[in-house]
Structure 1
Amino acid sequence: MNENFIAEALASLSQADTDVARALAQVGHPPPRIRPAGFETLLHTIVSQQISVEAARAIMGRLRTLVDPLTPQQLLEFDTESLRQAGLSARKVEYAQGLAAAICNKDLDIESLGTMDDESAIAAITQLRGFGRWSAEIYLMFSLQRVDIFPADDLALRIALGRMKGLDKPTPKQCRELTAHWSPWRSVGSLLLWHYYRGAPT
């Protein structure tokens, strides 16, 4: 989803939803969000849970220094204490080792995720401990560049959609209903909502 794709999709969404058109006029186009597909991005998803962006970046830096190269096979060479000293909690060490083992054992075929439909790819990722639907949807959006994903459990998205629509704290179910007509561009609509969350007048 590059800048041109986002612009074209938002033009279509603006015609389908006047609230999108108004928000787009207020905050402009959101930037693309592209992350490489693969083990390191999935590992980063585990690392970043419930901590700041800065803390997650620091821990990933220490992991890259410790586990070089940062591959599933290499990570499994390190014991729990070594990974704890890099900054991972005991639970996150468990999740990281589980992810690495699933890839090494072929329980998760990262390459095949790109050929699956959205729901099948989400199901394959969420079978792993430490990965809920939100984590899987974010991976599909940013790493697999799937264009019709709406992570309705994301609090910032729900707050932004509520502001956009003049509603107070819509539920995930309500958010899915409110954005159903954004299909097949719901990922781009989500990018706009995150952008709107940061820049919209309150």
Structure 2
Amino acid sequence: MIHDLSKILQLEPKFQEIIDTYGNPTITIRASGFIALSQLILEQQVSIASAKACYDKIENYLNGFTPQLILQTSDEELKACGVSRQKISYIKNLARSIEKNKIDLESFHSKTETEVYNELIQLKGIGKWTAQVYLMFCLQKKDVFPIGDIAVQHTMRELFQTESLEEMELHATNWKPYRSLATYLLWHHYLKKRNR
């Protein structure tokens, strides 16, 4: 994705200012599949560290992390690993969908951003943000713009004087088909400016 940098810089000169000030953004790559999606569910509304601790507990307890193992485990056992009832239902629903072939995560690599996004948000507990983060980090899809992300909104207001989400979306159409890279640059600016 980083090799598309020159292309996005041609489309948006302001991104050059970010690179001149803070250097190139870090592109995070995560594995794809059931574990990755389950981890994203665990990360909803909590810190990455506490979600990781929770995942590690489950994996150690079950000696693995597969749809079959999750479905064989009682809600009480998962709750003892620190998972909320709501997230247990989401992860079990995902496991069931995979087991019943309602969703084929392997097929996502050859599908478009829109196709994958539409399949993912059909699943209970996977909203827009989770689907978009999965597309960006796990599948390395190039044209994803997570408008619901607070850091993205904040940086869009600051750099492009866009106020409404509609204005932001409209401005971001200028960055097609490299909106994922644009998002990494917006995050990069947001975090570096705050010394994170």
What is the TM-score when the length of structure 2 is the normalising length?
Answer: 0.94
CA distance in 1, matches of 2:167, 2:17: 21
Q: 1:10 to 1:129 in 2, by over 3 A?
A: same
**Deviation of the 1:201 alpha carbon:** 7.0
CA distance in 1, matches of 2:132, 2:41: 14
Q: Determine the structure 2 residue equivalent to 1:98.
A: 93
One-letter code of the match for 2:49? E
Q: Does residue 9 of the first structure (1) align with residue 4 of the second (2)?
A: yes
1:194 to 184, 187, 192: 187
2:176 to 175, 180, 183: 183
Q: Does the CA contact (< 8 Å) of 1:10 and 1:189 recur in 2?
A: no
CA distance in 2, matches of 1:84, 1:172: 37
2:140 to 145, 149, 154: 145
Q: Does the CA contact (< 8 Å) of 1:23 and 1:164 recur in 2?
A: no
What is the TM-score when the length of structure 1 is the normalising length?
Answer: 0.91
Deviations 1:154-200 (A, max 9, x none): 11111112212244xx3332211111111111111111111110113
Query: Aligned residues, how many?
Result: 195
Unaligned runs of 5+ in 2: none
Runs of 4+ in 1 over 4 A off after TM superposition: none
Unaligned runs of 5+ in 1: none
Q: Determine the structure 2 residue equivalent to 1:115.
A: 110
Taking only aligned residues, the RMSD between alpha carbons, in angstroms, comes to: 1.5
Instruction: Report SS of the residue matched to 1:179.
Output: helix
2:63 to 54, 62, 68: 68
One-letter code of the match for 1:149? V
One-letter code of the match for 1:95? Y
CA distance in 1, matches of 2:69, 2:194: 47
CA distance in 2, matches of 1:201, 1:133: 26
